[in-house]
Amino acid sequence: MPQNEYIEEHIKKYGRRLDYEERTRKREAREGHRIAKNAQKLTGFRAKMFAKKRYAEKAEMRKKIKQHEQSKVKGSGEPAPSSEALPAYLLDRQQPNSAKALSTSIKQKRLEKADKFSVPLPKVRGISEDEMFKALKSGKRENKSWKRMITKPTFVGEGFTRRPVKMERIIRPSALRQKKANVTHPELGVTVNLPILSVKKNPQSPMYTQLGVLTRGTIIEVNVSELGLVTAGGKVVWGKYAQITNEPDRDGTVNAVLLV
């Protein structure tokens, strides 16, 4: 009974088949032809997948080639500081960089001031009531249709209880309720799944804000205590605003960007 590394053992003892080298060489040689054939022959989704993979490979290859070329170029980067002392009139020449940095920082600050009221998604698509609500029939003979069901994901606060079913005009289905959002911190570049605290503003209409409808561009308040952010005063920040960046009704999740 063969046991343990029996394949390697066998190769060590008896060697490979005589045409092994030739076969591997030929297989490698065929590889290019196979790719070329696929590139020409494939159609539809397969072609798409193939092209994507090929593109990634090529990009990788190009990057590698560039790296090699760069390593060959001599004397890139700053010239080594000379050991001789610089004359006084030349000392200033080194400074322009810092001056430029200063000016850019000032510009940045100004921009930030203007940005105080700007949000990542300034424009949103309008949503009609038809799309937002679905009329439900009610009454003994199903001939009344004053009930509405919201067809978008919503946020309902904790401890929410529905009104008596008979009176309830607007229904927020429990299957479409969302409690958490994937919030990205734009500066840190991290994404965390955080609990939603409330809906601050829905740009579509104040009524939707009140109902807690989550659509693209809605500002929500999220619980950031997990992130461990600290205010200038040294207190831990608890709630922070974030804007929804995706269409929750299409993705089944809520993605948002933290407003900092």
Contact stretch for another protein (CB under 8 A) within 34-42, 106-114, 180-188, 247-255: 247-255
Contact stretch for another protein (CB under 8 A) within 183-191, 197-205, 222-230, 251-259: 251-259
Measured between alpha carbons, how far is 224 from 241 in angstroms, rounded to an integer? 9
Contact stretch for another protein (CB under 8 A) within 1-9, 26-34, 138-146, 212-220: 1-9
Nearer to another protein, 6 or 238 (CB): 6
Q: Which two structure tokens, joined as six digits, stand for 21?
A: 């080298």
Contact stretch for another protein (CB under 8 A) within 62-70, 106-114, 135-143, 249-257: 249-257
Nearer to another protein, 168 or 247 (CB): 247
Q: How far is the CB of 186 from another protein (least distance, A)?
A: 22
Sheet holding 144-150, edge to edge: 133-138, 144-150, 170-171
Q: Looking at residues 102 to 131 of the shown chain, list those that interact with another protein (rule: CB under 8 A).
A: 131
Q: Looking at residues 5 to 24 of the shown chain, list those that interact with another protein (rule: CB under 8 A).
A: 5-6, 9, 12
Measured between alpha carbons, how far is 136 from 171 in angstroms, rounded to an integer? 10
Site string for another protein, 132-151 (x = CB under 8 A): --x----------------x
Q: How far is the CB of 116 from another protein (least distance, A)?
A: 34
Q: How far is the CB of 134 from another protein (least distance, A)?
A: 7
Spell out the long-range contacts of 237-244 with Cβ–Cβ below 8 A and sequence spacing 24 or more.
239/197, 241/200, 242/181, 242/183, 243/119, 243/120, 243/121, 243/217, 243/218, 243/219, 244/181, 244/214, 244/215, 244/216, 244/217, 244/218, 244/219, 244/220
Q: Compute how many residues bind another protein; rule: CB under 8 A.
A: 20
Q: Looking at residues 150 to 189 of the shown chain, list those that interact with another protein (rule: CB under 8 A).
A: 151, 173, 175-176
Q: How far is the CB of 251 from another protein (least distance, A)?
A: 5
Dihedral over alpha carbons 102, 104, 106, 107 (to 10 degrees): 170
Contact between 146 and 169 (Cβ < 8 Å): yes
Q: Does 250 bind another protein (CB under 8 A)?
A: yes
Q: How far is the CB of 211 from another protein (least distance, A)?
A: 16
Q: How far is the CB of 181 from another protein (least distance, A)?
A: 15
Going by their DSSP bridges, the two strands 239-244 and 219-223 should be labelled as antiparallel
Measured between alpha carbons, how far is 214 from 154 in angstroms, rounded to an integer? 5
Q: Which distant-in-sequence residues (6+ apart) come within 8 Å of 248 by Cβ?
A: 152, 153, 178, 214, 215, 216, 254
Which residues sit at the interface with another protein, rule CB under 8 A? 1-6, 9, 12, 131, 134, 151, 173, 175-176, 247, 249-253
